[in-house]
Structure 1
């Protein structure tokens, strides 16, 4: 069953209210326009008559008020139907405009370039070999301090009382690149904890850590991506460097790397990666507080053994910055 407006239009068609355009003499422009205008006004009158009668009484009242105002103030007959059509066209035009703007700007896609993905749920522990990632992994998950081991495969577990999966990824140079395709490009990373050995941060260690960190910071998926915490680990050992000093050393080495390597970096298989982010601003010294592509912080951590009276409080103090990072920065 058709609606009243459709029925009215069908009735108009049956009455042949839309005659073909009149043929005018080409010698006069006005002679061509006059029949068209007359036909147009006749159509408006019939449309107004047939359509308006199907409107609710309150709508008919407002329509006639607009029609009367237009005829008096503008000298425009059938102004009610004309204004209604113009408003409809305006609304349609604005709708199409804003839909187009929305598609052009869009929302920034999640890492990996796919919209509508599930909320990232992984915190990834990264860093050079021997930095203490595995010890932190066990401390965070199981509140234990394992014997020193070197991981050759990633480990994954769920943090108690948090909907977060913690991943300990191997720091070996040939293995470390795999985390990007497996987690970062897949849009799974909610945060990155980059672990360095604060007690053994020699020139060689600084260079190794900076190259790894540079590879992270210039990856395309890190642009306004997951927050990153540099954990200056083993801070309880003699000679351990403070976070501010480690930050300064890494900044200096990253500055050198961005000048010598630019956007070219290698993935875990030794192949050059594309679509690298530029790190820093042209002709301006690197400032990680400003130039990091996503939120970057530094903090001291350690997993010193519990004393008899230490209890959980003593350990919580040692890894407190990590728990704060996971709770506050990631919002779980």
Structure 2
């Protein structure tokens, strides 16, 4: 009887079997490495997030930052004056401790203190005086533009809350009106700054450009960085009224 070589498969031996086993081993090693690297990156992210537990209260002088700080941390009214140094205290939310830092709003001091505390920033609350906003709109836009252009803030995608304060007062503008006016002012400011940078270095223009080129400025165009608007009242006129900080507290719970 002839031996039917076609009907019987020879078992794999020699170099071909070694190649299969080597390929399987390499696949397992790669999978283990991917899992290990993922765990390491996650641990680094967690550590960095824990290190960045600061909520920075920023804004022009007399916007109400220090009173908000006092109302938020101690639920009490205090007479305030222009700060010359920072106020710092911890606030526990969602079993996490946030370090609230009230940064002086004076033009000569705020850059120094912001530089000191920006490495710990998990979120930034930009406080606006809703009563004097129209008068101060240029200064407000300049300061906000500077913060949003800060490289470390952009790279960390630090969330912003623009808090339209003093809503208890008759002449206060609402957050939607302030947002619309601020976007127009930021658009004009962006054009001015882009022209200045182009005259110096075209590469810097791309780095510092905020929003989408060819479109009028909108805060939504800064995505993935989130810039939200809210309203508040720390009641610096009528001390008998309770502070209205619910929108701020809701935002802080999300950040925590």
TM-score bucket (shorter structure): 0.7 to 0.9
Q: How does 1:13-24 map to 2 (within 5 A)?
A: none
Q: Pick the aligned partner of 1:163 from 97, 118, 134.
A: 97
Indicate whether 1:330 and 2:255 are aligned: yes
Q: How does 1:233-312 map to 2 (within 5 A)?
A: 233-262=165-194, 276-292=207-223, 294-304=225-235, 305-307=238-240
Query: What is the CA-CA distance between 1:147 and the residue it aligns to?
Result: 1.3
Query: What is the CA-CA distance between 1:255 and the residue it aligns to?
Result: 0.8
Q: Distance in 2 between matches of 1:116 and 1:191?
A: 16
Q: What residue number does 1:124 align with?
A: 56
Query: What is the CA-CA distance between 1:172 and the residue it aligns to?
Result: 1.5
Q: Distance in 1 between matches of 2:185 and 2:116?
A: 28
Q: Distance in 1 between matches of 2:18 and 2:99?
A: 57
Indicate whether 1:178 and 2:112 are aligned: yes
Higher share of residues assigned strand? 2
Q: Distance in 2 between matches of 1:150 and 1:182?
A: 19
Indicate whether 1:82 and 2:13 are aligned: no
Greater relative contact order (CA < 8 Å, ≥ 6 in sequence): 2
Q: What residue number does 1:42 align with?
A: none
Q: CA offsets per residue over residues 257-289 of structure 1, 9 Å max, x none?
A: 211113979xxxxxxx99954211111111212
Q: Distance in 2 between matches of 1:193 and 1:76?
A: 71
Q: Distance in 1 between matches of 2:183 and 2:41?
A: 32
Query: What is the CA-CA distance between 1:235 and the residue it aligns to?
Result: 0.9
SS at match of 2:245: helix
Q: Distance in 2 between matches of 1:264 and 1:167?
A: 33
Q: How does 1:65-80 map to 2 (within 5 A)?
A: 72-73=8-9, 78-79=13-14
Q: Distance in 2 between matches of 1:257 and 1:202?
A: 15
When the two structures are superposed, what TM-score results if normalisation uses the length of structure 1? 0.61
CA RMSD of aligned residues (A): 3.4
Q: What residue number does 2:146 align with?
A: 215
SS at match of 1:192: strand
SS at match of 2:48: coil
Are the structure 2 counterparts of residues 143 and 275 from structure 1 closer, same or farther at C-alpha, using a change threshold of 3 Å?
farther
SS at match of 1:202: helix
- Structure 2 gaps of 5+ residues are 1-7, 198-203
Query: What is the CA-CA distance between 1:160 and the residue it aligns to?
Result: 5.1
Q: How many residue pairs were aligned?
A: 235
Does the CA-based 8 Å contact 2:73-2:91 persist in structure 1?
yes
Query: What is the CA-CA distance between 1:192 and the residue it aligns to?
Result: 0.7
